[in-house]
Structure 1
Amino acid sequence: MCSLIFVACAAVILFPQPPLLGSPVPKEQAYVNMIVGIMLIVGVVTYFKSIQRNYQREVEKQRQALFSLNKDKEKMFSILAHDIRSPMATLENLLQVFHQDLLTANERVETIGLLKNQVSQLGSVIDNLLRWSVRGMQGIQTLPVVFVLQPLFREILQFFDLLIRQKQLTIHINVPERLALVADYDQTAVILRNLLSNAVKFSKTGGRITITAVDRVNEIDILIKDEGMGMDDRRINMLFTSSQFSSRGTAGERGFGLGLILCAEFTRLNGGTIHVNSKPNKGSTFTVSLPKGEI
């Protein structure tokens, strides 16, 4: 319509109206009409361009949300794989021992008890992980609650009980009974499970792992120290970045290099910090600081 107005005004100027049809439109009026037509064209085009930009912003927002959701799903699958892989490997080793008939009668009874405990713990872990994954179907959500720290450590240590026995590790827990955090329980469990998994993985046979919780004013510092392989500065700088790497443990344990990246992200989501001190062949100390809770 704006274009038709402009053409009609141009036609009035270029082709004056014959006197038989009445008095012609003044040129001044025709010019005014042309200016109005041009302004209408500019206004209409600007309006529709703004609509287009809004649609583009909405599409980009949806694309970013989809990308974030896909990344969250990838992280959740990596958590499932990481937490299930260790007990499955333990069960496989125990069944291999049974298959080769290498046990005495007393050892067989003891190993059956270990198998029962491992299957029970694996079922509990899978149940917790599936419950958490259902909660995160729309993306990873952080739901802070107040909970006591010491029972969580004891639950996680049962998860690695057989590996600790195999490596003859000594575990020292210095966590006050009523010390509490305010954080997402499942995400905190993932953080501590990954850090303890690495401590066991890189500890030498007969080594020691020390778990300490320090009460600060508004936060709790959780220190997990091992006396294992340690790391140089290059590896420390790569730990919490997307430059993933995987190292085998002292007993040949495998890993995917994803655990510490998840630890860093979950710590950040819960308003905390994480850092590490380590020297080659002198062990590592991971420190996680999370908000303090009150019982």
Structure 2
Amino acid sequence: MVGDAEHFSLEGRIFHANCIAIILAVFFTAVYNYVTALHYAVLISIVILLVQIGLFGLSRLKGKTKLAVRLSVIQINTAITVAYFYNAGAEGSIMLLFVLSLFLIFLIIPRKKLTVWYFFNLLSVFALLGIEYFYPNSIQQHYFSRAEGFIDIAFTYLLVSVMIAVGTIQLRRSYRAQKEKAEEKAVKLELMNQEKDKLFSIIAHDLSTPLNSLQQYLQLLNEMELSAQERLDVERNLATSLSDAQYLLGNLLEWAKKQLHNAPMNLKPMVLHTQVWPTLRMFEQVASRKNITLVVDIDKDATILADKNMFDLVLRNLLNNAIKFTNLNGKIWVNTIVDKNHCVLVIKDDGIGISQERQDKIFSLNIASSYGTMNEKGTGLGLLLCKDFIIQQGGDIWFTSAANEGTTFYVKMRLAQ
């Protein structure tokens, strides 16, 4: 009824809550005034009721909250001023309503205009008291009995206390929500700062190391003569180091795109076998350098719903990791499990596995860098991207592993209907 924080400001939501309370209160006030024979007060109550319903609709449905607030304050103060002369004046309960009006002003009026409305309220009160003092006959209607006056004041006090409670509760609730949101943002900011520090560390070390090695090799060629075997050994190590740096740079670029919200997702039906086959052929060549065998058994009819670029990055990272952490002459299996609504891509290796203490941090940047079976460098950034990209596509990713027994990654994707 009061609106959500996404579409309405705090002042707007408080205004809506108080509008609802005012509408209910004025309705019961009209009934009470009718019972106590305050007929002019009944008429005023009905006018206030109709106007307040209209102002609530103007803000809640039309979104013109500022206009509705200004009109509401004018309407309430005008109505209270008129009611003062028909509800026993200073002897009656109207002064309590002026206090309520002042409370609402402090709740919903913007700070820049608060002083104006505050003095407007004060001047209204003192002007009415002055008029009644110098012109007692200006009060048109008095209580018929002492009991009637006490009942009216008690009822009005109840009304005012309920309105103040509604406004205060709404304010405290909004304050708690804003505080929780601020604390949540602070936690996220701290995590982002930790990720940033980790990334800078990766960039400073893992990207500079292969470049420094290449520079040292070129200097070495100029300073001394190397044998063919020495050159071959150095160049092999450089090729591995540069390949790791290339993968890292690609992952860094994808991570940067994700952080800048510059990577739009395009989910489309995709025949899994057709999509992954070129990547598998490419990694067969990479695996052959370690004499690793790729055993592929993928359902040729499985059509998944995925973003091509995101899914390719996930597949490349998982295959690269499998090769990196598999021993010479090892095996990697790539197959699928298909059910009614999902297809699970399974990538299994018989490599060195993941230690238990590293498994809880495997999808974060809080994990330390690791080295493959031929000293290939792993930073953990690739798996973080895999997790994020698969979740964004409505899928899931998990793994099982044991040290020295191998690792199996599972990528669960929705089937295209």
Which TM-score bucket, shorter chain as reference?
0.5 to 0.7
- How far apart, CA to CA, are the structure 1 residues paired with 2:99 and 2:348? 81
Amino acid at match of 1:36: F
Once the two structures are superposed, the pairs formed by residues 94-113 of structure 1 within 5 Å of their partners are 96-101=216-221
- Aligned residue in 2 for 1:2: 96
- Aligned residue in 2 for 1:30: 149
What per-residue deviation string (whole Å, max 9, x for no partner) do you get for residues 239-261 of structure 1? 56779533433234444445545
Is contact 2:269-2:306 (8 Å) kept? Answer: yes
Q: CA deviation at 1:183?
A: 1.9
Describe the SS at the equivalent of 1:203: coil
Amino acid at match of 1:245: I
Describe the SS at the equivalent of 1:47: helix
Once the two structures are superposed, the pairs formed by residues 87-236 of structure 1 within 5 Å of their partners are 96-101=216-221, 122=246, 126=250, 133-134=256-257, 137-138=260-261, 143-149=266-272, 150-152=274-276, 154-155=278-279, 164=287, 167-175=290-298, 179-231=302-354, 234-235=356-357
Quick one: which of 41, 52, 77 aligns to 2:171? 52
From the superposition, tell whether residues 244 and 81 of structure 1 become closer, same or farther in structure 2 (CA, over 3 Å). closer
- How far apart, CA to CA, are the structure 2 residues paired with 1:3 and 1:132? 59
- Aligned residue in 2 for 1:43: 162
Once the two structures are superposed, the pairs formed by residues 280-291 of structure 1 within 5 Å of their partners are 280-291=403-414
Which structure's CA Rg is the greater one? 2
Q: CA deviation at 1:45?
A: 0.7
- Aligned residue in 2 for 1:12: none
Query: Percent sequence identity over matched residues?
Result: 22
From the superposition, tell whether residues 241 and 156 of structure 1 become closer, same or farther in structure 2 (CA, over 3 Å). same
Describe the SS at the equivalent of 2:371: coil
From the superposition, tell whether residues 56 and 139 of structure 1 become closer, same or farther in structure 2 (CA, over 3 Å). farther
Quick one: which of 392, 397, 400 aligns to 1:274? 397
Q: CA deviation at 1:196?
A: 2.2
- Aligned residue in 1 for 2:367: 245
- The runs of 5 or more residues in structure 1 that have no matched partner are 7-20
Q: CA deviation at 1:229?
A: 0.6
Describe the SS at the equivalent of 2:373: coil
- How far apart, CA to CA, are the structure 1 residues paired with 2:309 and 2:290? 27
- How far apart, CA to CA, are the structure 2 residues paired with 1:53 and 1:160? 62
- How far apart, CA to CA, are the structure 2 residues paired with 1:215 and 1:122? 34
Aligned length: 269
Q: Normalising by structure 1, what TM-score?
A: 0.61
Please report the RMSD computed on the Cα atoms of aligned residues, expressed in angstroms.
Answer: 5.2
From the superposition, tell whether residues 273 and 82 of structure 1 become closer, same or farther in structure 2 (CA, over 3 Å). farther
Q: CA deviation at 1:185?
A: 3.3
Q: CA deviation at 1:88?
A: 7.6
- How far apart, CA to CA, are the structure 2 residues paired with 1:245 and 1:98? 34
Structure having the higher helix fraction is 2
From the superposition, tell whether residues 263 and 131 of structure 1 become closer, same or farther in structure 2 (CA, over 3 Å). closer
